[in-house]
Structure 1
Amino acid sequence: MRTRTAHLPPPPSTAPRAAGLIAALLGLLLPLLALGTPAHAAPTGFRVENGRLLEASGNDFVMRGVNHAHTWYTDRISSLAHIKAKGANTVRVVLSSGDRWTADDTADVAAVVARCKQNRLICVLEVHDTTGYGEQSGAVTLSRAADYWIGVRSALTGQEDHVIVNIGNEPYGNTGYTNWTADTKAAIRKLRDAGFDHTLMVDAPNWGQDWAFTMRDNAASVFAADPDANTVFSIHMYGVFDTAAEISDYLGRFVAARLPLVVGEFGHDHSDGDPDEDTILAVTRQLGLGYLGWSWSGNGGGVEYLDMVADFDPDRLTGWGERLFDGANGIAATSEEAAVYSSGPGGDTTAPTTPGTPAVSSVTSSSATLSWTAATDANGVTGYDVVRIDGGDETVVTTTAGTSATLTGLSPATSYTFAVYARDAAGNRSQRSATVTATTSSGGSQGACAVGYRVTNEWPGGFQGEVTIRNTGSSAVDGWTLNWTFPGAQRITHMWGGTPLQTGSEVSVASVPYTAAIPAAGSVTLGFTATMTDRDPSPSAFTLNGSACSVA
């Protein structure tokens, strides 16, 4: 489909029509076109072998599902649970790069993936802004779509068992489609070079219907161009595919060539013709190919008849919905849940708890150290992703198995916002921790700050302290981290005016919003209570944002 408000344009009247029968094709083409899988990197999730889509476990996976127009209906995320309840094992989710519709940012993509996993669905994620490029005003290139995926990669890394990346929807209309082969190869290479290990899906040109057979005739070379040999092809079947012969011929050629194919979209009717949905369902079942019907709900522009349920209400199936879910060769009769959701270690779909708010320490002009309290998970936390947040974008800056990380390569006198995610062995990702801001120092010398430290009260086994930070420089401080070392066995139990993190005798205090700003010649004061043994000697040295301070 093009969008929820427009329907596919009809192909030219001279569109070729294939006419073979599938049995004959299998016998004729198999010895001529059979392709082995080339050597490639070890898969970390879904993979392709001999034209079949396999899970990491080696289980043959056949998609049975529907498309859901998430980017236009972000408030309908509960639809994924309803789609699962109808028996689907896969959902193809419409996203936007922000070029034609509101962008689905990293946080939104992560939320979609989490909801897919919660509902035990395989997520096929697609960028819709490429639809009809060369013919549709505003459509963008596959290269631009690849850039979008790279921008939200932190939401996808580690999800290779659960997510398939559909690079761009219907990436050419009926103009310029001969460029599809080169552009598709380039987009695949771009994502592989960026570190994507996912199975990739590529749509056909000609509004997805490939009436000129560009994808069919060049699929082998595109597959060979993927260094991971892990690309699946997607054909959209609407008015071009209105006879059993055409459907059987097209699908059969891919099977004979051992090239992986799914019917990524199809319907029971369309403005460009009347697709033969019964044959699509029957032949995909016969050949063991996946299919994803268009679409759950929310269609407009004259194709409202493609809604499977009315007004997103799962209890109001349309005729098309009844046919696809409950009819012969439909979803209820043929869908099998992905093995990754079965019992055992691979069936873990519970995310770890959220890590503690990071604390900042050892800040210099080019680095900062973050520390956080550990997350928990029934099957164990395997690592943490530290992300830098810039507006709505997140970038993974490091991954660690521990609960601290030193971030290097930062710019002097710059504020950075960081947060942490936890992961478990099944690839589940926690909610994001609260954010923290680290401000690197300017590299200035001692004397830009002065710290006063005093004990204001004492009692057996404990005391109350006060710390005053004075800005003796000529410019304001906006966000700070103060570090010192206790010379005795003191341990902070409570603090106001800052957020403490203490490891042994090392103390790091991060500013809170009402103490973060220290104007030139100004000061802020924080207080704390602490335990002690038999004495509470005062610290002798302090650093503020990595710069040494004089002791007042």
Structure 2
Amino acid sequence: MRKRFALVGAAVAALVLSPLTVVPAQAATGFTVDNGRLLDANGNDFVMRGVNHAHTWYADRTTQALKDIKATGANTVRVVLSSGDRWTRNDAADVANVISQCKANRLICVLEVHDTTGYQEQSGAVSLDRAVDYWVAVKGAMAGQEKYVILNIGNEPWGNTGYTGWTQATKDAITRLRANGFEHTIMVDAPTWGQDWAFTMRDNAASVFAADPQRNTVFSIHMYGVFDTAAEINDYLNRFVTAKLPIVVGEFGHDHSDGNPDEDTIFATTQQLKLGYLAWSWSGNGGGVEYLDMVTNFNAAQLTSWGQRAVNGANGIKATSREASVYGGGGPVDTTPPSAPGTPTASGVTSSSVTLSWTASTDNVGVTGYDVVRVSGTTETPVATSATASTTVTGLTAGTTYGFAVYARDAAGNRSARSNAVSVTTQTGGGGGGCSVTYKVTGQWQGGFQGDVKIANTGSTAVNGWTLRWTWANGQTVSQSWGATTSQSGAALSATNVSYTANIPVNGSVGFGFIGTWNGSNGVPTAFTLNGASCATA
């Protein structure tokens, strides 16, 4: 579906972006750029936290997908469209429908033309000028939507051939859009398959920004295998911040055929610098990058290891996203907190876990989630977050009394007063064990393969922290993994949870994946132990 070529590695260049004295964005009907920051129509700072969705190939999935993406806490969705040059054209009526659904789900809509992907290298790819033809043709659907829509001219224009043409072509495309009356914030993707390994966008960003008469352009870098170290990620993003040029990570993943991106640094650095990011992608990937699906087969209840990381991990969507203030009534940022949640009630108490439920809070701009804390005297310790009025707290000690209370958060970032606390005493011990392991080879090539492992908790007690072990019969080894940390001694492999896969609730499951090597044969392991106990195989 999305083809990428292995990119030539590039050392971090010594060139520095020239600082630009940025002209403040004109008063506009929608998003603007000022002093290197993206502001919404109310003049409030807006940091994208969201997901890419492949609408042009999965239009029948879009209605539910946008609802599910919103449920992660995302404030933005980047939507794949086609000009009709490579795939079925998304006409003005379809574009209007997508925008309407974004607004219904209180999402900011980044719309992009995908037919430009890999121009001059990918067969059939079209120019940015051709993408502008499409935008002009669907202008009727875009007009008046500047508060809710960002126009991403074309996805990953230029492959690894002729990419120096990106600078002038991008200036020309921006100029032409403005001449045709577009007042939207414009987003421009980097060349060389979006990863800018030759630093064409980085070193010409100031002149491209200056070519926009409205000074309302945002730059988008796609971070895959080129960005496999913290130094490269930090250097690239900080150069834009220093130059006061707006930058977002428009696509990224936890792994790729061209290398292993450092996703933890991408999450951490964008949060530190207050820069936007949009994870690729909700579901439906093919062509060997299926591991970039955030959910399995568009089922929001089946987050993959990558989906778990992007949504629930450190600096992920759920913890850092804030809804655009334009969905709070169109005025200044709302400062009224939600009502306090009801006192939690406890159920399903075991020796190590408890399920808490409470009466939901109300709020004039919408409750986005809840923070559960453990209360001991005047001390509070965060223990869980939840998008709904219920959650299961794990990792408790048997025969111990705990106090739990809840706060609510709203779309404007306000926090409610704390609920009353509930006292819970865990069981003194016991609880059944039980686990089932599904091991699959999802792709294989000469000397290498990709594996996927799912651990299901079939016992009566939640698992909080785990190590899965197996022994290979054919000398296979693991070279990289995600969702777990692996180590190996001879044929014996150990996989230990990372933070976002540590908890396996009763009747729940987690998964992780890996890249391995093989020689001669690649037999599937037949015996697994979880924390020392034998597991069934599925």
**Structure 2: distance between partners of 1:131 and 1:140:** 8
Structure 2 residue 163 is matched with structure 1 residue 157: no
> Do structure 1's residue 17 and structure 2's residue 11 form an aligned pair?
yes
| Residue 64 (structure 1) aligned to one of 45, 49, 63 | 49
Partner of residue 145, structure 1: 131
* Identity score, percent: 70
Alpha-carbon spacing, 1:39–1:339, altered in 2? closer, same or farther (3 Å)? closer
Q: How does 1:125-136 map to 2 (within 5 A)?
A: 125-136=111-122
1:214 maps to which of 200, 205, 212: 200
Q: How does 1:368-447 map to 2 (within 5 A)?
A: none
Q: CA deviation at 1:298?
A: 0.1
CA deviation digits over 1:363-390, x for unaligned, max 9?
xxxxxxxxxxxxxxxxxxxxxxxxxxxx
**Match 1:199 to one of 182, 185, 189:** 185
Does structure 1 residue 337 correspond to structure 2 residue 331? no
Alignment of 1:235-250 (within 5 A): 235-250=221-236
Q: 1:242·1:275 contact (CA, 8 Å) conserved in 2?
A: yes
Q: What displacement does 1:19 show?
A: 7.7
Misfit runs of 4+, over 6 Å: none
CA distance in structure 2 between the aligned counterparts of 1:302 and 1:73, rounded to whole angstroms: 18
Q: Which residue of 1 aligns with 2:526?
A: none
Worse overlay, 216-225 or 338-347: 338-347
Aligned length: 332
Post-superposition offset of 1:41: 4.0
Can you list the C-alpha shifts for 1:13-55, whole angstroms capped at 9, x where unaligned?
xx322189xxxx9xxx7xx843232266432110000100001
Amino acid at match of 2:140: S
Separation of aligned partners in 2, 1:40 and 1:330 = 30
Structure 1: gaps (5+ residues): 348-552
Structure 2 equivalent of residue 48 of structure 1: 33
Q: Which residue of 2 aligns with 1:76?
A: 61
Please list every run of 5 or more consecutive structure 2 residues that lacks an aligned counterpart in the other structure. 334-538
Contact kept, 8 Å, 1:44 with 1:160, in 2: the verdict is: yes
- The residue matched to 1:70 in structure 2 has which SS? coil
Q: Residue 508 of structure 1 corresponds to which residue in structure 2?
A: none
1:225 to partner: Cα distance: 0.2
The DSSP-based 3-state class of the residue aligned with 1:316 is: strand
The TM-score with structure 2 as length reference comes to 0.60
The answer to whether the 8 Å contact 1:91/1:121 transfers is yes
SS at match of 1:145: helix
Could you tell me the TM-score, scaled by structure 1's length?
Answer: 0.59
Structure 1 residue aligned with 2:258: 272
1:326 and 2:346 are equivalent in the alignment: no
Structure 1 position 312 matched with structure 2 position 293? no
**Which whole-Å deviations, capped at 9, do the CAs of 1:424-456 have from their partners, x for residues lacking one?**
xxxxxxxxxxxxxxxxxxxxxxxxxxxxxxxxx
AA aligned to 1:337 is E
TM superposition shift of 1:102: 0.2
Q: Provide Cα deviations, 1:227-263, integer angstroms capped at 9, x if missing partner.
A: 0000000000000000000000000100000000000
Residue identity matched to 1:46: F
Residue 346 of structure 1 deviates from its aligned partner by 8.6
| Partner residue in 2 for 1:112 | 98
Q: Report the aligned-residue RMSD.
A: 1.6
Contact 2:51/2:278 (<8 A) preserved = yes
Structure with higher Rg: it is: 1
The corresponding residue for 2:450 is none
Q: Which letter maps to 2:34?
A: E
SS of 2:167's partner is helix
For residues 139 and 46 of structure 2, what CA distance do their matches in structure 1 show? Answer: 24
1:42 match: secondary structure: coil
Determine whether 1:168 maps to 2:124. no
Mapping of residues 339-354 of structure 1, within 5 Å: 339-343=325-329
